[in-house]
Amino acid sequence: MSLRACSRDKELAGLLELGHWPDASPAEMRAHVAECASCRAHIALTQAFRSERDRAIAQPRLESPGVLWWRAQLRRRNAAMERLSRPLLGAQIFAVLIALAAAGAYLGWQLRQGASWFGDLGRALHFTALLPPVFQNSPVISMATVLFVVLAALAGGVVLYFASDR
């Protein structure tokens, strides 16, 4: 390669940069390159760098070992948390079932005892005010209203529990 540059070197560099060489280049430029050793060397060097760049891009890139280690630790920690959460979820469900069974047993016992307090609770909390006037003085309706409100609150709690991010 000679030390002096060709006068059409910038024009050739523009064609190479735009990707117009050799197909979209003028015929006179192709004829010049066939005769000019400097321009042929420029093309050869540019094509060598491009092919090397394309080969390097095609190679798979490995992530740093620190990132791989961090991801492995995160997966291990998440798997451990999942293993721990299964028995805890079972224990929570068991505790809710026991609490519901105890509440049902208590309500059943109170109903056998007469449950006068149950109707009084409905009147004290004024749940019966939600009913039509015909049903406001009935103890059975009052008891049913209190049961409905308690069950609705319990259902709302269950829905909120399962809707939360456990």
User: Do residues 101 and 156 share a domain?
Assistant: yes
The verdict on residue 70 lying in a domain is: no
Q: Evaluate whether residue 79 is within a structural domain.
A: no
Which CA distances in Å does 153 have to 14, 124, 132, 146?
76, 18, 22, 11
Q: Could you tell me if 95 and 159 lie in one domain?
A: yes
Q: Is the Cβ–Cβ distance between 141 and 128 less than 8 Å?
A: yes
Residue 65, domain member (yes or no): no
Cβ–Cβ under 8 Å, residues 52 and 12? no
Do 52 and 100 lie in one domain? The reply is: no
Residue 111 belongs to a domain: yes
Q: Is residue 84 part of a domain?
A: no
Range of the domain at 97: 89-163
In a domain, 32, yes or no: yes
Tell me what pLDDT residue 74 has: 95
| Overall number of domains in the chain | 2
Check whether residue 103 and residue 43 sit in a common domain.
no
The tens place of each residue's pLDDT in the chain, 166 residues long, gives 455 678 888 888 888 888 777 777 788 888 888 888 888 888 888 888 888 888 888 888 778 888 889 999 999 999 998 888 778 778 888 898 999 899 888 877 777 776 666 666 656 666 667 767 776 666 676 677 777 878 888 888 888 878 776 5
Per-residue CA distances from 144 to 94, 97, 114, 155 (Å):
27, 22, 15, 16
